[in-house]
Each structure stands twice: as C-alpha cells, then as structure tokens.
Amino acid sequence: MATSTMTAVPPELPLASKPRRPSPWQIIGGTPRRFLTSSDPWRGLAYAAVTVVVGWLLFFAYVVILLLPLAPAWSYLLGKIERQRVALLRVPSIGDPHPHLTGSITERAGARLGEAATWREVGYSLVLAAFAPLASLGLLIYGAFFGALLFSPLFASTDESINMGPWVVDSFAESWVLVLIAIPVGIVGLYLCGAVSAAFASLASGLLGPREEELAALVVSLQSSRGVLVTSFEGERRRIERDLHDGPQQDLVGASMQLGELAQATDDVQVRADIEAAQTRVERALSGLRDTVRGVYPQVLDDFGIEAACAELGGPIAVRVLPKAGWVSGRRLSADAERGMYYTASEAVTNTSKHGQASMVIIEFDAATSEAGEQIMMTITDDGVGGADVANGTGLAGLMERADALGATLTVTSPGGGPTVLRWVKVL
C-alpha cells in the first residue's frame, strides 16, 4: 500500500465535522457588536437592493408588458439565479429541485410545466413583483426621514426651521442633535435590511429548494444512472478481455510455436540459441498478457466464483483464501457482488505487492445474519509496513466509491508498521 503515517478512513468523515454556517436570522440575532462590525449588514443591504430591482423588473413584466403567460419561462431562469444569489448572505446555495431532462425543447418544456417546482418558482416571482412597490414606498419614507436627520445642519444653515412634530429645530447647534439621532436610526435601517434579506432567503429556500419527494426521486435517478455506468463499465471490461484473448494472445501463442519449430529445424547452434532466446521473450510477453487479461476480467470468476478467483491472484506474494465459519465454501453471489469483491481484492494485492513490502495476503470470507439482512464480509489483511492513506491516493478512494456504488461499504485500517486491513461488507 502507499506508505503514510496515518490511519485511512472513509473520505466523508472529515466532511461531517465541518461546522454549519449560521442562517441569516442567526446572524441578525447575534450580538450587535459582532453584526455591525462585520460585512453582514452590507451584504444584507446589497441583497435587499437587488431584490427590489428584480421585483420591479417582474412587476413591469407582469403588469405593464402583460407577459403573464410566459411566467414559467422567466421564473425558471429566475429560480436558477436566486438559488445562487443567497450565497451573498454567506449561506449555502439552494439545491435544484428539477431533475435532468433529455429530449427535444418541446418535450423538456412540457415536462417542466408538469413539475410542481416550476409553479413554486412562479409563485416566488409573483411575491417579488408584489413586494417591489411596497418596499420602494417604505424605502422612500425611511430615506426621507433618515436624510432629514442626517443633513439637518445643511437645512439649519439656511435659517429655515425644521419641524419634527412638536419639536421645532431652529438653530444650527440643535440640528447636530438630529445628526446624533440619525446614527441609531441608520443602525435600525441596517437591521431592517438584514431582516428583509433573511426573510426572502428563507422564502427562496422554502419555494425554490427541493421537497422531500423530489429529493427521493433525484436519489432514485442517480442510483439508476450509477447502475447503468457500473454495468457499462463491466461490459467494456468483458469486451477488452475478449479482444485481448482472441487477438494478441492467440498471435503470441502462434509466434511462440513457430519459433519453437524453427529452433528444431536448424542445425546452427548460434541460430538455435537466438531463436530460443526470442521464444523465451515471446513466452514472457504472453505470460504478462495473460496476467493482464485475468486482471481485466477473470474468466475463473464467472466459472468458479469469488474464492477461486481470489486464489489465483498471488504472483510475487503468497495469497491465502480462508472461508470462515459463516461462509459456505464454493458459495456463489450475484455477478455484481462477486466482481466488486474481486476487484477490491485484486487492487489490494497489487498495492501490497508494489508499496506494502508484504510477503503474504490473507483473504477471509464470512457471512452473518443481522437485523438488516444477511451480511457478506470479505477481510483482506497483509503483513506489510502499513501506513496506507485514502486522502493521498486515488486507489483506495476509488475502491470505496466502487463499493458504495454496489451498496456495500469498505473500511480501511492501516496504522504505521502494519498490518493493513480492508473490510468489505454488503447486506444482501
């Protein structure tokens, strides 16, 4: 195995320890000092401003241009933008509820119109269009009030009094009191913008994100696609194995036989020695090709099963196959399970031979009954130096992904000094 000083673990475990980002509401609800000294108030202000602009565009589209029949089209595009725009508030982008479609434009458009997510996007666009005039009115009132407070010294310098309800400011000195009042009013405005942004981010998450049933359908679609890819991959392996067996391997066998005949037909000792040397090289190439063919797709796996296929791995190091108490010797599994187990064992033996400095690999097969069903287990242990690290190589990570594609799990333990243990488990 590739040497390292750490124990290999599945790659998803470190991701699980990452802290979750706070929601916009949690950001607003934090301490004022932390909120006001960060970029969050200005992010909220920018998000609210863009929301108003987009709302006015939709308002004109709906009310002025009267393009309501085309609402699903631009709402679909708007949804794509809005699902990414929430990242401005430092929150994760919203997942896309629409499945991938193929076919003509007409077929895809018809399928999109039949999706509930499309009409939720239309509803979201209607909310934005209705929000824009109301928000603009509130912004004008707030802006006029805040501007009057902030720029009151300019008005006072013109010898005009400022009427603030029962309070009349008619001196330049008194106008600076209004400037001081403008500071908390401005802070309230930042909080209001943050609240509006948080509200629309929550609305976008609720209307534009995937529902549970949509996520379930997406998972089914991904599993189906993954199964198709695995099946296609195995079919391609079979084709390569067949082409190598029927083509170059047969040619090398014929060349070796022909060289042998030539060696027997000549009386020149030197020529015979040269022909025999060439025959030896051809036979060596034939042996290497046979190993390659067996690695691409072992016929013995189809004929006799996983135990027999693993027993043939060996090569530079010894491989022992041990059926344990729960395993019936000679048991056959589904083709997918046997292929997954074989390629895991083959890769493990190859890596051990190249990097692990091991002299023996033990492959154990076992089965046990659990609440989830019958568990099939394969444990691969070598006596090498250990230190295999999933993070520093694609081999083990690829084996884990392959196991996951088959509905199995692969765990790797490889402390420095060894041994390296791979445990492949699948519930039938």
Q: Where are the alpha helices (DSSP H) in 266-393?
A: 269-296, 299-304, 306-311, 335-351
Q: Is 26 part of any domain?
A: no
Question: What's the DSSP call for residue 386?
Answer: B
pLDDT band per the 50, 70, 90 thresholds, residue 172: low
How many alpha carbons fall within 13 Å on the CB side of residue 208? 27
Considering the domain architecture, whether residues 173 and 138 belong to the same structural domain is answered as yes
Q: Is 218 part of any domain?
A: no
Q: What is the pLDDT of residues 111-125, one digit of tens each?
A: 888 888 888 898 898
Considering the domain architecture, whether residues 291 and 310 belong to the same structural domain is answered as no
Q: What is the pLDDT of residues 275-304, one digit of tens each?
A: 888 888 888 877 777 666 655 667 778 788
The pLDDT value given to residue 8? 38
pLDDT band per the 50, 70, 90 thresholds, residue 399: confident
Considering the domain architecture, whether residues 181 and 246 belong to the same structural domain is answered as no
Q: What is the DSSP string of 227-275?
A: HHHHHHHHHHHHHHHHHHHHTHHHHHHHHHHHHHHHHHH---HHHHHHH
Q: What is the pLDDT of residues 129-158, one digit of tens each?
A: 888 888 889 888 888 888 877 877 776 665
- CA 13 to each of CA 158, 277, 293, 373, 411: distance values in angstroms, whole numbers, following the listed order: 68, 55, 36, 25, 12
Q: Residue 288 CA to chain centroid, in angstroms?
A: 38
Question: What's the DSSP call for residue 428?
Answer: -
Tokens of 417: 């000094």
Whether the full predicted model's pTM is greater than 0.75, yes or no, is no
> φ and ψ at 363, to 5 degrees?
-115, 115
Q: Is 73 part of any domain?
A: yes
State the first-to-last Cα distance of the chain, in angstroms, to the nearest integer.
Answer: 29
Query: Of 246, 265, 296, which residue constitutes the final position of a domain?
Result: 296
Question: What's the DSSP call for residue 177?
Answer: H
CA–CA separation, 423 vs 340, rounded Å? 13
Considering the domain architecture, whether residues 247 and 370 belong to the same structural domain is answered as no
Q: Is 221 part of any domain?
A: no
Percent of the chain residues topping a pLDDT of 90: 4
Considering the domain architecture, whether residues 319 and 288 belong to the same structural domain is answered as no
Mean pLDDT of 360-370: 89
In the predicted structure, residue 394 carries a pLDDT above the cut 60: no
In the predicted structure, residue 212 carries a pLDDT above the cut 80: no
Q: What is the pLDDT of residues 9-42, one digit of tens each?
A: 333 433 333 446 677 888 888 788 888 888 888 9
Considering the domain architecture, whether residues 391 and 268 belong to the same structural domain is answered as no
Considering the domain architecture, whether residues 164 and 252 belong to the same structural domain is answered as no
Query: Of 210, 237, 264, which residue constitutes the final position of a domain?
Result: 210
Mean pLDDT of 54-72: 79
Nearest residue to 56 via CA among 125, 124, 121, 118:
125
In the predicted structure, residue 92 carries a pLDDT above the cut 50: yes
Mean pLDDT of 216-245: 65
Considering the domain architecture, whether residues 76 and 195 belong to the same structural domain is answered as yes
Rounded to 10°, the helix 172-208/116-150 angle is 170
Q: Is 367 part of any domain?
A: yes
Strand-by-strand arrangement of the 421-427 sheet: 318-323, 360-370, 373-382, 421-427, 408-413
Residues ≥6 apart with Cβ < 8 Å to 363: 310, 319, 320, 321, 322, 345, 378, 379, 380
Considering the domain architecture, whether residues 268 and 353 belong to the same structural domain is answered as no
The pLDDT value given to residue 406? 79
Domain hosting 404: range is 304-427
The pLDDT value given to residue 33? 85
Q: What is the pLDDT of residues 67-80, one digit of tens each?
A: 667 788 888 888 88
Q: What is the pLDDT of residues 256-274, one digit of tens each?
A: 788 888 878 888 788 888 8
pLDDT band per the 50, 70, 90 thresholds, residue 170: low
Number of domains in the chain: 3
The pLDDT value given to residue 21? 66
Mean pLDDT of the chain: 78
CA–CA separation, 342 vs 300, rounded Å? 11
Specify the DSSP element, H or E, that contains 61.
none
Spatial contact of 331 and 305, defined as CB atoms under 8 Å apart: yes
**Where does residue 149 rank: exposed (0-12), middle (13-18), buried (19+ CB within 10 A)?**
buried
Residues ≥6 apart with Cβ < 8 Å to 292: 244
Region of 407 on the Ramachandran plot (φ > 0 left; ψ -120 to 50 alpha; else beta) = left
Q: Is the peptide bond before 419 cis (omega within 30 degrees of 0)?
A: yes
Q: What is the CATH number of the domain that holds 377?
A: 3.30.565.10
- CA 166 to each of CA 162, 163, 169, 182: distance values in angstroms, whole numbers, following the listed order: 11, 7, 10, 18
Q: Is 71 part of any domain?
A: yes
pLDDT band per the 50, 70, 90 thresholds, residue 378: very high
The pLDDT value given to residue 379? 93
Considering the domain architecture, whether residues 331 and 253 belong to the same structural domain is answered as no
Nearest residue to 91 via CA among 14, 207, 200, 191:
200
Tokens of 339: 């292929």
The pLDDT value given to residue 159? 58
What residue type is assigned to position 31 of the chain? T
Considering the domain architecture, whether residues 323 and 292 belong to the same structural domain is answered as no
Tokens of 5: 């000083």
CA–CA separation, 137 vs 156, rounded Å? 27
The pLDDT value given to residue 6? 36
In the predicted structure, residue 356 carries a pLDDT above the cut 90: no
Q: Is 10 part of any domain?
A: no
Query: Of 271, 296, 321, which residue constitutes the final position of a domain?
Result: 296
Considering the domain architecture, whether residues 344 and 400 belong to the same structural domain is answered as yes
Q: Is 6 part of any domain?
A: no
